[in-house]
Amino acid sequence: MAFLRSAVQRLVSAVRPPLSPSCRTSARSYSSEHTKEKSVPYEKTLKQDDGVTSGPTKPLPRSADVVVIGGGSLGCQTIYHLAKMGMTNVVLLERDRLTAGTTWHTAGLLWQLRPSDVEVELLAHTRNVISKDLEEETGLHTGWIQNGGLFIASNKQRLDEYKRLMSLGKVYGIESHVLSPAETKDLYPLMNVDDLYGTLYVPKDGTMDPAGTCTTLSRAASARGATVIENCPVTGIQVRTDDLGVKKVKAVETPHGTIETPCVVNCAGVWAAKLGEMAGVRVPLIAMHHAYVVTERIEGIQNMPNVRDHDASVYLRLQGDALSVGGYEQNPVFWDEVSDKFAFSLFDLDWDVFMQHIEGAINRVPVLEQTGIKSTVCGPESFTADHKPLMGEAPEVRGFFLGCGFNSAGMMLGGGCGRELAQWIIHGRPEKDMYGYDIRRFHNSLTDNKSWIRERSHESYAKNYSVVFPFDEPLASRNMRKDPFHQVLTEKGCVFQERHGWERPGWFNKDGPAPVKGYDYYGAYDIKKNVNYKYNELLGKEYTFDFPPHHDVIKSECLSCRHGVAVFDMSYFGKFYLTGPDAKKAADWLFTADVNKKPGSTVYTCMLNKRGGAEADLTVSRLESGAANLPLAPESNGDAYYLAIGGGVAEHNWNHIRTSLQDQGFRCQLTDHSEDMGMISIQGPKSREVLQEVLDTDLSNEAFPFSTHKVVNAAGHQVRAMRLSFVGELGWELHIPKDSCLPVYHAVMAAGAKHGIINSGYRAIDSLSIEKGYRHWHADLRPDDTPLEAGLAFTCKLKSSIPFQGRDKLEKQKEEGLRRRIVCFTIDEKVPMFGLEAVFRNGVPVGHLRRSDYGFFIDKTIGYGYIRNPDGGVVSADFIKSGEFTMERMGVTYKAKAHLKSPFDPENKRVKGIYA
């Protein structure tokens, strides 16, 4: 019998040449040929024993409403949910047998708690489907085993993270317990607890069986009228171009016939990029080897919970009377030449790469050192740039949906994501906030950049088990998009954040420059690790759930803005022009607010989906018609609008507008000038004094009122000045042609020197804006929130008769009353909160914080969250006022005060320049 450690030592032979991150896997000296031996630890797989592949298992229909491609977890869950929602003319095509690609060898773990409210909800639905719904519908057992989950903490920060999860779990009714090392030993006698800080035990976590789950899903879908066809590879996707020039799915081609369809769902996993190419769709994922080993029998391991030891980057999955041992390493093996004939196949395990997991496993469960290896499982998995799936309608082709790139989590996320994908297809949008998975979260300049995909996917894989800290930033593929101020701000000590490929200012380090360096793959593949890396050192100091060491620096930036003047570089903003014959009709339909005021006006507004959820918040400026003066003004013979949108969501906004225009048939042009202009925002009580020296126009309240704009000269350069604020102060934004950015910036800084002007970053904006009560899209305003729930009814033209997208849903909600609404909370105790903290009213959980930060002017922690009535009734102002609220942060309860208005400047005097 080969014991784990000795077997590994024998198998690891001479030192092999390192694998460059850009070379092919064949450069390694191990065999890349897949084995024919069935090594997965499941009693049943769906592989045909004779190995003979016949033709399709069913005749192909001539047409279908939806064709799902790929018979793994996501494909099966998607067709099941489509059928359950009433779509019966749907087809699933699998090139081999169900699960043949990557699903068949998955570990099948399901953990209920994640540092995301949406993911907790998605996981809960998966668990309900496989543990309850499917068995009730079919009478078949899916193979679900509820043996519990145990998260290991070897340090305080890790246990703090688990306590955050525990607090969030209380909102969703998920049972979990923080255990001491001694209590952990009682629960899991074979575990070494000598180096433990504590653990989090979740009794209702468990394990899924891939073959049992997918077979049952297939049968349940077929019983509702769906068609599942195996042994039928897809060879092409036909795309047509309509009269407006819009590309749409037309048909799916196979060797056995063509199916006409307006909708394709790409659930092809590792093979999804190839399938995307057939339709001209970019699918930014990459294939890597992912492995685990299965041990021989271990006495006393039966009924033990699954274990995740994040700090050792290893998991231990209960496998009857044995364990499966796997993890995530910093030097994963890329699979560059993805084979179309790879089905029910495995790679030879690279022990050089895998050995680190053995060491961690033996430390945690010492009996493993004397336990034999029964089998090895090394198969392909698809990974993405941020370790989150790719979902939604592709920007390139209407009707082409993605359901792929699940980063080894396709089984546990499959049920929730399958349901949301079905909602997306049927209703145009999912029910939940799926922006974090939406393909449109990535800018179009990145999705075909192979270096970006590879570097980011590597870093996300290597950091998969790292603590999720609030202010972490990637190190891979930085400096992809830089604005004209980047170099001068770097020299002034700017610590940049990455958003949408852009480098945007985070905060300003007083100890000098901290530039971002090229990616070093964390020293893997024999790449020299970056040394004296100040930026990385500063990030490391933020790895805390306490206030960061530079808390006072951010305080200084915030209070300089509140008492004096600060300049913010906001150049990463999306900057679009909407013009054309139907521009006014489009603006009326797209925007909740009435933006058709006189030229020179600027309006804050939302854009909604059909459900009334907020797809965006932005400012819309109405322009004078006339000749082009690009990039400051487009050519227009009629109505024209300038849209300024948060840069991190610009691609999402662009596609929302574009598809809405297409769906309504509006004759409009949407043009993107984001790269052509920079943007600085000068804010604070002294901003007027500073800018009056730079701009050639009267900045008085009468001459330049709030929410207006005009083209003016700044230090001899034309700019568009807008009197707006995202921090709650008197101030102006300057939208500046790229070549004029630095001269204008230097003029502003020179004029502001005697007023103590400083550079300030987005960490300060986050604090200042939450203090004022301004929303951040995708934090306290999401696609599953309506403006009424979000306290933004003032942005909706409901008193007019003008129709706009989602209006009917808002009118109904207004009539019925709000079942949830946003509430501002303050906490007197000096504790940091970051969002996800549980909110209790009179001791009963009623919600959680979506967003939280420290307000330096009011000197309190502030949080915003959506509150429900536990009885399901209306959440009225009286319901808020009459309750006693508390927050739970990492298991500790704090008294909180609820506010219906922002506690900072509730009368909006400061933005009007009134500083009495």
pLDDT at residue 16 is higher than 70: no
**What is the model's pLDDT at position 54?**
77
Determine what percent of the chain is predicted with pLDDT higher than 70: 94
What span, in angstroms and rounded, lies between the C-alpha atoms of 110 and 142?
Answer: 14
Q: Which residue has the higher pLDDT, 49 or 506?
A: 506
**What is the model's pLDDT at position 24?**
32
**What is the model's pLDDT at position 30?**
28
Helix (H) or strand (E) holding 265: strand 264-266
146-155, 229-238, 371-380 — which is least confidently predicted? 371-380
Interacting residues of 175 by C-beta distance below 8 A, sequence separation 6+:
169, 202, 203, 204
When the pLDDT of each residue in the chain is averaged and rounded to a whole number, the result is 94
Phi, psi of 430 (to 5 degrees): -75, 165
The tens digit of pLDDT for each residue in 519-552 reads 999 999 999 999 999 999 999 999 999 999 999 9
What span, in angstroms and rounded, lies between the C-alpha atoms of 512 and 510?
Answer: 6
Beta strands 390-393 and 400-404 are antiparallel
Cα 608 to Cα 614, 773, 786, distances in angstroms: 5, 21, 8
What span, in angstroms and rounded, lies between the C-alpha atoms of 72 and 411?
Answer: 9
Helix (H) or strand (E) holding 709: strand 709-714
The tens digit of pLDDT for each residue in 448-484 reads 999 999 999 999 999 999 999 999 999 999 999 999 9
State mean pLDDT over 423-449. Answer: 97
Q: Which residues of 505-523 are buried (b: 16+ CB within 10 A; e: fewer)?
A: bbbbbeeeebbbeebbbbe
What span, in angstroms and rounded, lies between the C-alpha atoms of 293 and 354?
Answer: 9
pLDDT at residue 10 is higher than 80: no
pLDDT at residue 15 is higher than 70: no
Determine what percent of the chain is predicted with pLDDT higher than 90: 92
pLDDT at residue 52 is higher than 80: no
- The full length of the chain comes to 916
Give the closest residue to 587 by CA, choosing from 649, 650, 638, 651: 638
State mean pLDDT over 838-846. Answer: 98
77, HSE (Cβ side, Cα atoms, 13 Å):
33
The tens digit of pLDDT for each residue in 89-117 reads 999 999 999 999 999 899 999 999 999 99
**What is the model's pLDDT at position 49?**
59
Reported pTM = 0.95
State mean pLDDT over 407-430. Answer: 97
Residue 323 identity: L
State mean pLDDT over 777-798. Answer: 97
**What is the model's pLDDT at position 905?**
96
| H runs (alpha helix) in 250-394 | 272-279, 351-364
The tens digit of pLDDT for each residue in 58-67 reads 999 999 999 9
Q: What is the DSSP-derived secondary structure letter of residue 629? A: B
**What is the model's pLDDT at position 11?**
43
DSSP codes, 64-129? -SEEEE--SHHHHHHHHHHHHTT--SEEEE-SSSTTTTTGGG---EE----S-HHHHHHHHHHHHI
Cα 358 to Cα 21, 173, 366, 378, distances in angstroms: 24, 35, 11, 15
Q: Judge contact between 594 and 760, C-beta under 8 A.
A: no
- pLDDT interval class at 713 (50, 70, 90): very high
The tens digit of pLDDT for each residue in 185-240 reads 999 999 999 999 999 999 999 999 999 999 999 999 999 999 999 999 999 999 99
**What is the model's pLDDT at position 71?**
97
- pLDDT interval class at 587 (50, 70, 90): very high
What span, in angstroms and rounded, lies between the C-alpha atoms of 464 and 461?
Answer: 5
Beta bridge partners of 228: 92
Helix (H, G, I), strand (E, B) or coil at 773: coil
- pLDDT interval class at 45 (50, 70, 90): low
Interacting residues of 136 by C-beta distance below 8 A, sequence separation 6+:
none
Q: Judge contact between 443 and 500, C-beta under 8 A.
A: yes
Interacting residues of 908 by C-beta distance below 8 A, sequence separation 6+:
none
The tens digit of pLDDT for each residue in 256-297 reads 999 999 999 999 999 999 999 999 999 999 999 999 999 999
